[in-house]
Structures are given as C-alpha cells and as structure tokens.
Amino acid sequence: MKKTHFLVSMLALALFSSCQNGDENDNESRGSQEVHSKTVNVTNHDGRPFSTGSGSINGKFVSGPGGGVLMQGFYWDVPDGGNWWNTVKGKLTDWSNAGISAVWLPPASKAQNGAYSMGYDPTDYYDFGNFNQNGSVETRFGSRTELEALITKAHAENMQVYADIVINHNSGGQSQANPFTGTSTWTDFSGVASGKFQRSYNDFYKNSYGNNDEGAFGGFPDLCHANPYVQDWLWGRDDSVGKYYKNVMKFDGWRFDYVKGFGPWVVNNWNSNVGGFSVGELWDSNVNTLEWWANNANSSVFDFAAYYKMDEAFDNGNLNVLNDDMMWKRNPYKAVTFVANHDTDIINNKMPAYAYILTHEGYPTIFYRDYEEWLNKERLNNLIWIHNNKATGTTSILYTDNDEYIARRNGYNGNPGLVVYINNSSSWQERWIETNWSSQQIKDFTGNSSWYPTTQGDKWVKIQAPPNSYSIWSLNQ
C-alpha cells in the first residue's frame, strides 16, 4: 500500500574505476591486521523457487546454486492507459536472461478508481480488466487477455509470477443502511460485475462478529476475516479468490498487502488451502515481530529490519550496524530482502545495498525503477549472476568498522561460496581475511579489482575493495 512518507531517490550511480592499488603478490604478514570474525548461525537458503541447475538456456531461466531473484515488476503510479502488462511482458526474456526467477505484479483486479487505480482499493477480485465497471473495462495495467499473456510468457521463460493480494479492505461499494453502525456505509458489493464474492455490511467491521480486528486502513471498509462466508470466498471454495488466481489465472504466489491489518492466521489459512509462495508486507523494523509473524503465518516476510539497517549503514557511514539482528539471520528461508519498493525508497547509496542483499542469505528483490531506469543495469546483472552462482552456504561476518564490511558465504554442496568486501570510504582498502579455500587462486567477480591472489595454506589471503564500492571474491573457475 502506498504510504505518505514515500520518498523517491533518483540517484544514478556512476561506474567506479576498476583500477587497483598494491601488488597482487604482496606477502605482507596478516599479523599486522586486526581481523574480527563473527559467525552468524543461520542456514543457507537454497529452498527458493527454481533452486536447481544453473545458468540461462535459450532465454529460459534456470537458477544456479544460490537460488533465484525476485523482480518487483512495477512502481507507484506506473503509466496509465492500459499498457503496463504489455510493458512487463516485453521485458521478461531479458529478465530471464539476467537470472531473475520471478516477477511480482501489482494488484490485478478492478478497483474503485478503475483505469486510474494502482489496485490497492479493490472492488471486484474477479474482474481482471474484462468487465465494464468503475468507469472502465481495462484496469490501469491492461486487459485480462494481456495479463494472461504476460503470465503465459513468464512461465515459458521458467519464471514464476506473484500476485499482490489486498484483503484487508475493499472500496467501491454502494451505500447501504448498516444496523451495526446506525448509519449508511459503503459496504454493498452485491452488484459486482463478476457476480462472485458479493458482500454486504456483515462482511465488514463492525458487525455481528465484533467491532474490529487488528487494523483498518485509510477509512476503507475493513473486511471481516472472522466471517466464515468471507473465509470461504477468500480461500475455501473451489472458485475462491486464492484458488481462482492460482488455478485459473495461473499465479504462482502471493505478496500480501498490509498484513498488520489482520491476524497471521489469515495468511496461514490461505497458504494451507491454496498453496504457492507467499510473502507478507509487515512494515516493522523489529526483527522479533517479523519472525513472530512469519512463523504464525507460515509465510515469508519482507525484511524491514535489514532495510533500515542498510539505510543507516550505507547512507550514514556506519557499517557496524550490519552486525545487528535481521530477519535473514533469524530464518533466511522466510526473509525477503529489498533495497527499495513502490512504497518506500529511502536508501540513496543503493549499489552497496544491492551488493549486500545479493551476496547474503534471504530471497533478494530488485525494484523495477532501480533496474530499468536509475542504476547501472550491467552492474546489477553482475550481482545477480554472482548471487545465483556463488552465494551459497552460511554467513560469517569477518570484519566491520564504520567504513568497511567483509563477510564470507561458506559454500554448500560443492559450491565454493564467496567473500564480499564493501568499502564506504573514499580510498582503496585492503584486508587479510580467512577464506574457504586453501592454496587456490581467487578473483574479484565484479571486475573492480584486477588482483588474482592465491590463498595461503591456512586459507588466509589479502583482498582489496575500491572506494565507495565493493568487491566479491571466489575461486577463479
């Protein structure tokens, strides 16, 4: 859901020089370097969609050992006019070739503002741009036929498609007398054009089931999930919203909007009855709250704890905060990491943040405008490749200070893992670190350093990182 504090950062980051300092054969003793090492007790995340194989074959994505990457396929106020589904469809092959395994779409059904709505004010869950209601046939994004063509194309590219699901509130109903409020409320949805999931005042709070649930949003009628009729239409019956989206429209998963507005049992029941990948938008930086919700919802959750720590680290010059707790450290299988989205965009120094989420555990998300408009696509594609092919195993934090952060992915099932070195300072930095590899040559897969050092027999080696940038090291193979 769009938040009032939405900020837009249109910082276009310049390519950093790939020049290097020092001698790649430098045998300086590491004894003069103070190295702090911390192992994060988390399991590696190899359970995301399309978690086997590697590379891209004829434009069809097959993820490598590191798993897949999610693309948020929209931003707030994408162009209206009904062409967005076609726009996204036209990019799927390039995204697949880049190593992106799934795309998250905006709310696809007809909303109160019809052809002008971003979809977060839903009226008829079964109108995908094929009924003339709320002033238009098509949605802002296009027609049902165009949406189905997009989903078919994504599946042909071996990519999954996630639907943005708004079930906290509805909008666009007609006025009716409401005995529970003693007033008239906009809760009459008996005339929805699809004829499915017709609603009235007793399907919204306050009603015979109570006065309220966990939260309402924006003055919209607050859907009552305690009502068995609502449950049946959302996930129970064969033509419920969830099952229709999955079995008829062929969506593969769900991004649940504003899950603070209802109990985690709602998403748990949806997932149990419908299936598919799911992630909740629980806008909270408290990692305990995120973990509690994810466990009770049986769902992934966006890692807002990591998001705010990255802002402090990369924008405010305090990389030490990356030692703090985050959802991906608690449970990487249920953590979806991100640098920006359609609601919030507070991180200005984005490339180090993408280097962070694409080398660490969790399921990383790329924001459409960062990829297609604002940042350097070649550098992002490089990070996606590194993620898919090298980012395996548990994570050990090797060194942190205000300006430098070094972490090691310890490898998994024969994959060598990597070492990422992020440097916020204005000069080249070097550190001795302990790797996964004994007496083997390594290289920086970003190309920012031209060193090709060989690790010592005890696995130690000196690496470097360019100013205001990063390097990512693994076996030269």
The domain that holds 223 is classified in CATH as 3.20.20.80
> What pTM was estimated for this model as a whole?
0.90
Cβ-proximal residues to 264 (8 Å cutoff; 6+ apart), any chain: 280, 292, 293, 296, 297, 299
Distance CA 95, CA 284 (A): 30
Reading the chain (477 residues) residue by residue, the pLDDT tens digits are: 543 333 333 333 333 333 333 333 333 333 323 333 344 433 333 333 322 233 444 557 787 899 999 999 999 999 999 999 999 999 999 999 999 999 999 999 999 999 999 999 999 999 999 999 999 999 999 999 999 999 999 999 999 999 999 999 999 999 999 999 999 999 999 999 999 999 999 999 999 999 999 999 999 999 999 999 999 999 999 999 999 999 999 999 999 999 999 999 999 999 999 999 999 999 999 999 999 999 999 999 999 999 999 999 999 999 999 999 999 999 999 999 999 999 999 999 999 999 999 999 999 999 999 999 999 999 999 999 999 999 999 999 999 999 999 999 999 999 999 999 999 999 999 999 999 999 999 999 999 999 999 999 999 999 999 999 999 999 999
Q: Which residues are annotated as a binding site for Ca(2+)?
A: 168, 232, 238
On whether residue 310 sits in a domain, the answer given is yes
On whether residue 366 sits in a domain, the answer given is yes
On whether residue 179 sits in a domain, the answer given is yes
Q: What's the CA dihedral at 253, 295, 64, 407 to 10 degrees? A: 140
Whether the Cβ atoms of residue 191 and residue 172 lie closer than 8 Å to each other: no
Q: Note down the domain range covering 89.
A: 51-391
pLDDT score of 406: 99
What does the block give as tokens for 319? 């990389």
Other beta carbons within 10 Å of 249: 17
pLDDT score of 34: 31
On whether residue 444 sits in a domain, the answer given is no
Strands 222-223 and 204-205: antiparallel
pLDDT score of 59: 59
On whether residue 166 sits in a domain, the answer given is yes
Residues composing the chain = 477
Split into its structural domains, the chain has a count of 1
On whether residue 452 sits in a domain, the answer given is no
On whether residue 181 sits in a domain, the answer given is yes
pLDDT score of 3: 38
86 CB-contact burial (10 Å; exposed 0-12 / middle 13-18 / buried 19+): middle
The residues carrying an active-site annotation are: 257, 281
Q: Which residues are annotated as a binding site?
A: 168, 232, 238
On whether residue 396 sits in a domain, the answer given is no
What does the block give as tokens for 424? 């916020």
